[in-house]
Structure 1
Amino acid sequence: MAEENKSEAWPFLAGSTESKEKIKNARVLCVGAGGIGCELLKTLVCSGFRNIEVIDLDTIEMSNLNRQFLFRRRHVGMSKAQTAASAIQSFCPSASITAHHANVKDSSLFDVSFIEKFDVVLNGLDNLEARRHVNRLCLVAKRPLVESGTSGYLGQVTVHFGPKGRSGKEEEEEEEEERGSDKDMGTGKNSDSHGVCNGCTAEDAVLCDLEAPLAKKGSLKKVSYILPPTECFECAPKPVPKSFPVCTLRNTPDRPLHCVVWAKDMLFGRLFGGAGSDLDASGGEGDGGKDDGREEEKTSEVEGKEKEDGGAKEGEEEEKEEQEQEEQEQQQAKEEGSSPSLSPATPFDFSRGEEEAPLDYATRIYARVFDYDIRRLATIEKMWTKQAPPRPASLSSPELSLSPSAAAADLLPLLNSTAAAAAATAVDPFSVSAARALGLNQQHTVWTLGEATQVFLLSTALISQVRADQVGAMAFDKDDRLAAEMVAAAANIRAWNYHINQLTLFELRGMAGNIIHAIATTNAIVSGLIVVEAIKILTNAAAVAARNTFLLQPKSGQGALFAPGFPDPPRKDCPICGGAALTLWIDCGNWSLKG
């Protein structure tokens, strides 16, 4: 008898013939076919799942290939969902994998009725808004959701059962079992024998707080809700990356990430992107462009709220004083007919002149943002009471041992040969590299100031020459080597300006692409945990065995690798799944509502 009870408990239940049949016939929706999604699809079919649909909007990029093992170089540019489905079916032909290359937030394709087709939904998404959207769909469709995420060596898997939630398979079985009893129920008022409170009609039953009833097509049926409600994905507020004060980026950076954001959103956007990244404001820079980084594998370095709030007033005073000085200098420049403290060869205009050579343009921009702007900021004494004033980086400074003419003479042959090679062959434009042309092949080595300067000049000139037709509409792409090198070099030069530690190209590229470099092993572990929780749900073991599991990074090999825990109950004040409500009073005498 003890052995029989043991076989009905988790994890022994998963090995039963009945459970294997449930797994085989279960309908599973996977949202996301990236780092977690590839591992998840593989683990699902290896665990016996055969009916799977997968949704992903993205296409495959070169940077995906080191960890998303279902993809190869020949797949770059192709749909992740479709390619992953094809790869899975190549080694598991018996699996039915339906791929959707689309946005899960597209309600014309993926509405509540679509979610209701599945027994469980498994999320491997990297976008917070999309995760919230799937959470709400599952709540309305009454389908269990298994959430996940990774960040380097860290990861988590959480299970979410909405109020009175259950799997679609249970719904079908119960409907068949209770079909006979439904015939005797009649209509109108119902007795407690059917689990419905006195006074509830068939139409009202869906609003009843009792656990049993569910109204469907004008009749009632008794429902055994196996999955207890847990908190939804949105019960606990998720941290949102904070923006940087613009005055900090423009005038007083104090960490490498400030320099990266300035180089990507302000400088690169201003030189090669569209309007909106204006460097012509005080300090030489203006409001940055939009950060286009995804949430997949994000950088964890964000500006602290305390720093933003505490420095706001001081930053406003600095900006006001700087603007006053800028206006005075601009007025003086206008009267004198030239730019203050700047030679006529380096005017304020950031656009490239029609007859201006690419290297001359790059040299002029360098002199403006790393020399002139820095020298002018350093003269505002009140800005430097808490940190050392910045130092200018001149092409003729001892640290570089270069002059504008010498830099142009040294780099011109490299510029011409690299541009000619890119034009003469079918070279992927994203693979053109200024660093390689300069012999800087180690992306894990920190460039010297001179090397960073040469990379900046050559990459800026190459973009201006090789991609002249794209200038004005370019967006930063972490897989674009020239763009990444230009931003990394600019960030390191600016870091030198402000006495900040310089970083390697690998580190800077990751920060610019909002990346915490993903680890394939973490994705594999998390995908395994997702499938374990899915099997618990399908075998009716989730009520007692469901766990939220957090993958940790023990220090010095000591401590636990996993931190499992029971799912928390729904928060009563959650505006999504709880009873929180907002009462809005409208004065109809002053307001009119239009449908």
Structure 2
Amino acid sequence: MVTLQLVGSLRKELADSLSTCRLLVVGAGGIGCELLKNVVLTGFKNIEVIDLDIIDVSNLNRQFLFQKKHVGKSKAQVAKESVLQFCPTANITAYHDSIMNPDYNVEFFRNFMLVMNALDNRAARNHVNRMCLAADIPLIESGTAGYLGQVTVIKKGLTECYECQPKPTQKTFPGCTIRNTPSEPIHCIVWAKYLFNQLFGEEDADQEVSPDTADPELSWNPADTETRATASDQDGDIKRVSTKAWARSTGYDPVKLFNKLFKDDIQYLLTMDKLWKKRKAPLPLDWPEHQKLTCPQGVTGMGLKDQRVFGVAGYCQLFSRSVETLHSMLADKGDGAEEWIWMGNCDDPPAMDFVTAAANLRMYIFSMNMKSRFDIKSMAGNIIPAIATTNAVIAGLIVLEALKILSGDVEQCRTGKFDSRNGELFSKLM
């Protein structure tokens, strides 16, 4: 282990600096777990770690300070306890809190000689960046995205800050595309996430899933009014009430929901004939027809279940089962139901089943190739799978940059980018 070798090879002055340095580690997740292990084995003694999250089962495959018995507990506190087991002489303080809490102000940051970021969101990174600049404390910023990782040092008056370079913004899609004319799988996945919120969470007017009659492509003629009214009357006796109100009126009947979402609403879209002059028209689904098929019909892909793509019948059945499960869970939540909202947490199996089934059924309707649960999970949560190897290498690079700073060689710090697919490391002077 590199860090074990470093402890015995550091010159006395640097070793003394490590033992007296007050260090703040922000984040105890994928990078943070590797980093905390590294810093104590390198010789850091006075460490404070802060993380808002609790441990989830999905963390256990790469955040090696945690075990199954720790699920549901504070990441920061358990990380502290785990590290102290193999380095009991370390002085570690853990905060189960958000670094953006006003208590962690400029004066708080001035207590440290060095700050290390192991965060996974931009808002917190921006905050720590500003606090370190205001306190004039060196910050080592890091991040990983699958096989790729990066480390950079931020020092006031010497380097660019975290916010100096523009960051890519999350892509958004027009509401009329989501509701009327999806052309890519991601459009159907976003629609399914919206539907989850409308049915089981907090309703949002900006996340409507019913056909959009205000689509700018339509430009209805007065003569079309009768056609639209007729379509509405034939829409399974569905009045234009909120999606959740209508679902409640049916007792969350899976078949009625299916018919509204994948048959009646699609038939309504077909009356908007101007949308389909240059596009392939959608194909309404019929529940009885697909129930005649067996679930394995059309299964493609090998390996784990999450990596397979099932036929329409399979997703019909998955949709029905997930609606029943979620309705039962919703009833159990009682008054707290309004707080249940899709927040990108794809580790709730019933919610992921629902989004997978609904998205795939809509893809089929609009003539797209359906996706595996694994693919939809990645896209639904805007997730790039975490790679333990990348986290470990990046955590090691953070410590190496810290040693340069404490040695007074901050000018020799580098911005490093690593690709764990081929072990390639690219670095340049700041």
Is the structural similarity TM-score above 0.5?
Answer: yes
Where 1:78 maps in the other structure, the secondary structure is coil
Where 2:142 maps in the other structure, the secondary structure is strand
**1:123 matched to 2:124:** no
Counterpart of 1:222 in structure 2 is: none
**Where do residues 357-506 of structure 1 align in structure 2 (5 Å cutoff)?**
358=252, 361-397=253-289, 401=292, 442-470=305-333, 471-476=337-342, 477-506=345-374
**1:530 matched to 2:381:** no
Same amino acid, percent of matched pairs: 41
Match of 1:340 among 221, 228, 233: 233
Q: Larger deviation: 466-475 or 133-142?
A: 466-475
Match of 1:258 among 187, 190, 197: 187
Counterpart of 2:98 in structure 1 is: 103
Where 2:48 maps in the other structure, the secondary structure is strand
**1:157 matched to 2:127:** no
Q: Structure 1 residue 138: deviation in Å?
A: 0.6
Distance 1:140 1:78 in 2: 33
Say if 1:54 and 1:100, in contact at 8 Å, map to a contact too.
Answer: yes
Q: Deviations over 1:506-543 (max 9, x none)?
A: 22123222211101111001000111101100011222
**Where do residues 28-107 of structure 1 align in structure 2 (5 Å cutoff)?**
28-107=23-102
Q: Structure 1 residue 144: deviation in Å?
A: 0.6
Match of 2:216 among 317, 323, 326: 317
Counterpart of 2:418 in structure 1 is: 551
Q: Larger deviation: 346-355 or 28-37?
A: 346-355
Say if 2:34 and 2:392, in contact at 8 Å, map to a contact too.
Answer: yes
**1:566 alignment partner AA:** L
Distance 1:20 1:78, change over 3 A: same
Q: Structure 1 residue 495: deviation in Å?
A: 0.8
Where 2:55 maps in the other structure, the secondary structure is coil
**2:106 alignment partner AA:** V
Say if 2:179 and 2:209, in contact at 8 Å, map to a contact too.
Answer: no
Q: Structure 1 residue 281: deviation in Å?
A: 7.1
Cα RMSD of the aligned pairs, angstroms, is 2.9
Say if 1:156 and 1:551, in contact at 8 Å, map to a contact too.
Answer: yes
Q: Deviations over 1:302-346 (max 9, x none)?
A: xxxxxxxxxxxxx95225549996x6456447xxxxx533445x6
Counterpart of 1:566 in structure 2 is: 429
Structure 2: gaps of 5 or more residues: 1-5, 296-302
Where 1:443 maps in the other structure, the secondary structure is helix
**2:414 alignment partner AA:** R
Distance 1:341 1:114 in 2: 64
Q: Structure 1 residue 14: deviation in Å?
A: 7.1
Where 2:101 maps in the other structure, the secondary structure is coil
Counterpart of 1:15 in structure 2 is: 10
Distance 1:319 1:50, change over 3 A: farther
Distance 2:339 2:366 in 1: 30
Say if 2:282 and 2:365, in contact at 8 Å, map to a contact too.
Answer: yes
**1:143 matched to 2:134:** no
Where 2:36 maps in the other structure, the secondary structure is helix
Q: Structure 1 residue 380: deviation in Å?
A: 2.8
Q: Deviations over 1:529-562 (max 9, x none)?
A: 111101100011222x2100011366xx5xx711
Q: Structure 1 residue 387: deviation in Å?
A: 3.2
Say if 1:156 and 1:550, in contact at 8 Å, map to a contact too.
Answer: yes
Q: Structure 1 residue 36: deviation in Å?
A: 0.7
Q: Which has the larger helix fraction?
A: 2
**1:242 matched to 2:133:** no
Q: Structure 1 residue 261: deviation in Å?
A: 0.9
Distance 1:102 1:472 in 2: 24
Q: Structure 1 residue 383: deviation in Å?
A: 1.8
Where 1:499 maps in the other structure, the secondary structure is coil
Q: Structure 1 residue 269: deviation in Å?
A: 1.1
Q: Deviations over 1:204-261 (max 9, x none)?
A: xxxxxxxxxxxxxxxxxxxxxxxxx111111111111122111111111122211111
**1:283 alignment partner AA:** P
Say if 1:284 and 1:369, in contact at 8 Å, map to a contact too.
Answer: no
Where 1:147 maps in the other structure, the secondary structure is strand
Where 1:565 maps in the other structure, the secondary structure is strand
Aligned positions, number: 411
Distance 2:202 2:141 in 1: 37
**2:284 alignment partner AA:** P
Where 1:467 maps in the other structure, the secondary structure is helix
Greater gyration radius:
1
Where 1:317 maps in the other structure, the secondary structure is coil
Distance 1:481 1:553, change over 3 A: same
Distance 1:457 1:324, change over 3 A: farther
Say if 1:282 and 1:322, in contact at 8 Å, map to a contact too.
Answer: no
TM-score (norm 2): 0.87
Q: Structure 1 residue 81: deviation in Å?
A: 0.8
Q: Larger deviation: 473-482 or 490-499?
A: 473-482
Distance 1:14 1:134 in 2: 32
Where 1:106 maps in the other structure, the secondary structure is coil
Q: Structure 1 residue 59: deviation in Å?
A: 1.1
Say if 1:158 and 1:547, in contact at 8 Å, map to a contact too.
Answer: yes
Structure 1: gaps of 5 or more residues: 1-10, 164-228, 286-314, 334-338, 408-439, 568-595
Where 1:518 maps in the other structure, the secondary structure is coil
Distance 1:481 1:320, change over 3 A: farther
Distance 1:264 1:134 in 2: 31
Say if 1:148 and 1:526, in contact at 8 Å, map to a contact too.
Answer: yes
Say if 2:235 and 2:265, in contact at 8 Å, map to a contact too.
Answer: no
Q: Structure 1 residue 352: deviation in Å?
A: 5.8
Distance 1:281 1:330, change over 3 A: farther
**1:362 alignment partner AA:** P
Distance 1:27 1:466, change over 3 A: closer
Q: Deviations over 1:123-145 (max 9, x none)?
A: 01111011111111111111111
Q: Structure 1 residue 448: deviation in Å?
A: 1.1
Say if 1:152 and 1:516, in contact at 8 Å, map to a contact too.
Answer: yes
Distance 1:459 1:347, change over 3 A: farther
Distance 1:466 1:137 in 2: 42
